[in-house]
A and B are shown apart, each in its own frame.
Chain A
Amino acid sequence: MSDHEHNHGHVHKPAPMVEEVSDFEILEAAVRELAIEKGLFSAEDHRVWTEYVHTLGPLPAARLVAKAWLDPEYKKLCEEDGVEASKAVGVDWVTSPPTQFGTPSDYCNLRVLVDTPKLKHVVVCTLCSCYPRPILGQSPEWYRTPNYRRRLVRWPRQVLAEFGLQLPEDVEVRVADSNQKTRYIVMPERPEGTDGWTEDQLAEIVTRDCLIGVAVPKPGVTSNAQRPVRKAINPVHHDH
């Protein structure tokens, strides 16, 4: 039976293999292939790197905060030397990545910003989307948007309110803009209602959003807030 003898009266086009390829994906592939061709790194290096990146997530950072809540000495170390403190949760900023000299663009200078009852930190990168990947994994989509990056430095309280976080007037909101070689995580205040909790229990409520500073930990809340998903105005249609 030929293609145009369908019994429902129209021709099927094969669905595209890839629905959309962004300019950035094309750019990445082009630069990667060029770098391999020029011998900057091999395809094997790239595979090893990609596999390493996929092992990263926010758990070590959550563990770091939980430990610090329970141990004042360790909390002091976090504040003074984030890189040293990271070792206690299995992250060595220098030797964990396959390069053995840190992560290009993440560098090796973690600063832990310690909140107090009168001080709330929140992290952004206005230049790009610098993020402490070795200890926090890949950044969420919204962290990389121009919208978040350009508004957070200028209207931090309004942006935090959009995340559902409203802070009293007497609390200083301090934005940290990671524009150079330091990467930041926020150590939020330990919430009420967690007396006697174990490190495991405490780590569970330190979500990625809390570590960026757009949320505060609450007993019972162990996942990031759902961001609203808006329908595309011009969605892609297939004619079949």
Chain B
Amino acid sequence: MSKPVYDLEHHAKMAYGIGDPQCFKGKAGKPKFKEGDRVRIKDLPDIFYTRTMTYTRGAEGVVTRLVYESPAAEDEAFGNEDTPEWFYSVKFMQKDLWPEYSETYSNDALETEFPEHYLEAV
């Protein structure tokens, strides 16, 4: 299947007066995960570009919020805007990210976002 070719103003025209990520609202279908779900971050191969940090790959966390719909940055970077997906805010306990994190502060956490295809149910 060939990919549509857009002119340079495609994104601007789509988002004009609406905003980004608002312009992708309603285009991702049914979300696979919900608030409170426990998820693991997949360590997917990425060629040239990713916004999924190495330190989160393989780690388990909890979905705190469904934030918006958007193409994944990994796709959008190459003009592939036709498959928006849900984005999730995921909270990790710091000790699940850094094995040496101080036990004294075991409540400390970190929150960041992922497109759906990086998440798997635990």
Contact = CB atoms under 8 A, between A and B. Distances in A.
Interface in A90-127: 93-95, 99-102, 107-109, 111, 126-127
Interface in B97-122: 97-98, 101-102, 104-105, 107-115
Given A172-B108, A180-B87, A180-B113, A95 B21 contact: no
A154 interface: yes
A182 B88 CA distance: 11
B8 interface: yes
Nearest to A170: B107
Nearest to B54: A126
Contacts of A173: 105, 108-109
Given A153-B110, A177-B53, A40 B22 contact: no
A174 B109 contact: yes
A203 B97 CA distance: 36
Nearest to A97: B19
B12 A99 contact: yes
Contacts of B87: 180-181
Contacts of A170: 107
**Chain B residues touching A, majority SS:** mixed
Given A170-B107, A174-B108, A179-B113, A109 B12 contact: no
B33 interface: no
Interface residues on A, range: 20 to 34
Given A157-B105, A181-B87, A108 B19 contact: yes
Interface string B28-64: 0000000000000000000000011101000000000
B17 A101 contact: yes
Given A109-B21, A172-B107, A172-B108, A179 B16 contact: no
B113 A182 contact: yes
A156 interface: yes
B53 A127 contact: yes
B89 to A, nearest CB: 7
Given A174-B109, A179-B51, A180-B113, A101 B68 contact: no
B77 interface: no
Nearest to B108: A173
A181 B110 contact: no
B68 A109 contact: yes
A135 interface: no
Interface string A177-213: 1111110000000000000000000000000000000
B19 A102 contact: yes
Nearest to A175: B110
Contact of B20 (A157, A178, A181): A181
Interface string A158-178: 000000000001101111111
Contacts of B18: 94, 101
Given A101-B17, A173-B108, 17 more contacts: A95-B17, A99-B16, A101-B12, A101-B18, A101-B23, A107-B21, A108-B20, A108-B22, A126-B55, A153-B55, A172-B108, A173-B109, A175-B110, A176-B112, A177-B110, A179-B53, A180-B115
